[in-house]
Amino acid sequence: MLSRLNLAVRPCVYMCRCVHTKEKGKPLMLSPRTNKGMAFTLEERQILGLHGLLPPKIETQDIQAMRFKKNLEKIEDPLTKYIYVMGIQERNERLFYRVLLDNIEELMPIVYTPTVGLACSQYGHIFRRPKGVFISILDKGHIRSILDNWPDTDVKAVVVTDGERILGLGDLGVYGMGIPVGKMCLYTTCAGIDPHSCLPVCIDVGTNNEKLLQDPFYMGLYQKRDRSNRYDELIDEFMEAVVSKYGRNTLIQFEDFGNHNAFRFLRKYKDKYCTFNDDIQGTAAVALAGLLSAQRVINKPITEHKYLFLGAGEAALGIADLIVMAMKESGISEKEAQKKIWMFDMHGLLYEGRSKPIESHQQAYVHPAPDQLAETFLDAVNLLRPTAIIGVAGAGRLFTKEVICAMSSINERPIIFALSNPTAKAECTAEEAYTLTEGRCLFASGSPFDPVTLPDGRVFQPGQGNNAYIFPGVALAVILLGVRNISDQVFLEAAKALAEQVTNDELAQGRLYPPLCNIREVSICTAIKVAEFFYSNNLAFEYPEPKDKVKYFLSKLWKTDYESFLPDVYNWPESATKLPDL
C-alpha cells in the first residue's frame, strides 16, 4: 500500500500524474461528473489531492448504492423521495444512474410520471440547483450566445418545453423544466445515452396560470404568455441556434407544448430538422404497441376494431394517425381506416355541423352526425359500440363504472386504455377496469398501478403505456446513426418492435408491455429495429453499416461504473490509471 513516504521517494511519478490531471482536490468531489465519494482509491486520493478530505474507508459502488437504497426506503412522501433522488444526481451522477437502472420499476415513478408532475407544480419551492438552459422571450436575438454558456459542447439531443401543457396539469411556465430534466434521465437510464450529450431546455414566454403569477417563488417571467409573432420568431431562432452550434443532425425533442403549437411546430420543422414531438408521436407509438399486443391476445386485427377516444388533442390525434398508418399497411385505405376512429372532446363527439369549434388538425376524424346525439361519454359508448376506448383527455375519472360495464357488455374482451397522467388524471384505475369486467379487459395506463387480485384469485399485471418504452430507443438509433429527419414511419417501426418483445407468458399475466425492469434491453432492441429501418431506407449517415448491430450498440452505451470513466474525465493516459508497484 502506498503512503506519503512512498510518494516522497518517487516524486517524479506523482508529478507526472499531476500534469495530466484537469482538476485536483475538493472541486473533484463537488462535481457530480467526477465525484466518486468514498470510492476514490488510496492512489487516486493521493494523486488527485483528496487524501485527508475523505474518511479513510474506501467503499465500493455497491456499498454506496446500498446506502442510497436504504435511505430512500425510510422516506414515504413521494415529493421528498424526488428531492432526495435528484439530490444524488447533483452529487454523484454515476451512482445516481446505477441505482436508477437497478431499481427502475420503483424509481421511474419518482423521477418521472407521476411524481415529476407534483415536482413541477412545486418546482420553485423545492429548487436546489439549476439544470439545463432557460431561454426567455427577452433573450430573443441572443440565443446562440446563451447556448455558448452551456459547458458541454458535444450535445447530441435536446429536450425542450415551453411549459404550456405539462402532463395533465396545464400551464406551469418555467416550472415545466422538470419534464425535460426527467426525460433526459430516461435517455441515459433506458438507452445508455451519455448524459453529457443531453441538454434540457425551457422556453419562457410567460404563463397564463394566475396562481403562478401570484407565487413569490415562481422563477419565470411575471407576464401573460406572449402569443405574438415574437414567439414564433423565438422558436425559429432557437432551432437554428441549436443546429448551428451542435450540428444539423442534433435531435430536438418537443415536450408539453400546447396543442395548437405542438401540431404547428411538428408540421413546420419535421422536414427541416431532426425533430419529433413525444406527446404526439411517442405516445402514439406506445399506444399502438399496446393495441398490437392486444391483437395477439384476442386474435382480432386492428383493422376490425372501432376506436373511441376520450380527448381530441395532440395525444389522441397522434395515436389515431399512427393507427391509421398501421391499418394502411394491412391493406385498407386511409379513408376507411379513419372511419373506424371517433373522438369525444369537452364539447362532445366530433361530427360534421357541430356547433362547437373543431380544429383543422382534427378534420380527418370528423364524421357525419350520428342518428342521435351523445351528450356524455357513456352515451357515445352505447351509441357507437366501440371495441376500444382510449383516454387521453387528462380530465380524471371519466371511465366511470357505467362506462366500463357498458364496454364489458358490448365486448367479450374490451380494450380499455386509461393513458392520462399523472395518476390523479387517469380515466380509471387498473382495479376498476379488471374488477368491473371480471378480468376480461385488456388494460393499459399512463401511470403505474399495482397488480390486481380478483376475488377468484386471478392476478393481473397492468401494463403501463409509458413513452419511456419508445423515445429512448428511437433517440439512441438517431444519435448513433447521424439521422437528420425522423418520419412517422419510424414510430410505426418502434411500436412494432416493442410489441414483438412481449412474451406469451407476459400477455397471459395481463401485460401488454414488457416488464419495466427490462427497459434497457427493450430500448436497445427497439433501437436496433429502428436502425435497420434507417439503413434499408438510406436514412443513416453512419457507414459502413455495422454487421453486428447488437455488438455495435452495446459498445456505444454510457457506463455507470467508476472504472470506465477515470482516464477520460481526468485526462489520464490509460497506462497511468494505476501507479507502479513501489
For residue 253, give the DSSP letter.
Answer: E
Type of residue numbered 397: R
Active site residue 112: yes
Tracing cell 450535445 back to the chain, one arrives at: 155
Extract the C-alpha cell encoding 312: 381530441
User: Containing H/E element for 452?
Assistant: strand 452-453
Q: 10 Å Cβ neighbour count for 328?
A: 15
Q: 10 Å Cβ neighbour count for 32?
A: 17
276 in helix, strand or coil? strand
Q: How far apart are the C-alpha atoms of 519 and 272, rounded to whole Å?
A: 31
Strands 442-445 and 415-418, sheet pairing: parallel
Half-sphere exposure of 67 (CA within 13 A, CB side): 11
Active site residue 245: no
Q: How far apart are the C-alpha atoms of 106 and 104, rounded to whole Å?
A: 5
Give me the catalytic one of 131, 183, 425, 496: 183
481 in helix, strand or coil? helix
Give me the catalytic one of 112, 187, 434, 469: 112
Cα–Cα distances in angstroms (integers) from residue 337 to residues 341, 390, 392, in the given order: 7, 16, 20
Q: How far apart are the C-alpha atoms of 200 and 185, rounded to whole Å?
A: 10
Q: How far apart are the C-alpha atoms of 547 and 186, rounded to whole Å?
A: 28
Q: Taking Cα atoms as reference points, which of 104, 114, 75, 180 lies closest to residue 560? A: 104
Task: Give catalytic residues, as residue numbers.
Answer: 112, 183
